[in-house]
Amino acid sequence: MLLKHSTITDMDSVLLTEAALKLSPFERAQLIDALWQSLDPAEQDAIDQAWLNESKDRLQAFQQGQLAAVDGETALSALKDQLSR
């Protein structure tokens, strides 16, 4: 995919991020969905298919006892720890 020149500056990006984070969880989910839908449909189909295959593989591994389940709070805490290093 070719990157198009954007007129949004780094400061605009920061301001957009700050504004988005002030939205309610429902509004943020709507924004995510709108941005997701704005991506190139041809590429998005391939990405969606790859995630579908990954999800099926993970579910199968979990069902066969090859993958342990981790609750969301634990997973997010571990991710925050990793990102803060």
pLDDT in tens, 39-81: 777 788 888 899 999 999 999 999 999 999 999 999 999 988 8
Q: What percent of the chain has pLDDT over 90?
A: 53
Question: Are 55 and 15 found together in one domain?
Answer: no
What total number of domains does the chain contain? 2
Question: Are 46 and 71 found together in one domain?
Answer: yes
6 with 16: CB under 8 angstroms? no
Question: Are 34 and 64 found together in one domain?
Answer: no
Question: Are 26 and 48 found together in one domain?
Answer: no
Residue 5 lies in a domain: no
- For residues 23-31, average pLDDT: 93
For residues 44 and 6, give the distance between their C-alpha atoms in angstroms, rounded to a whole number. 21
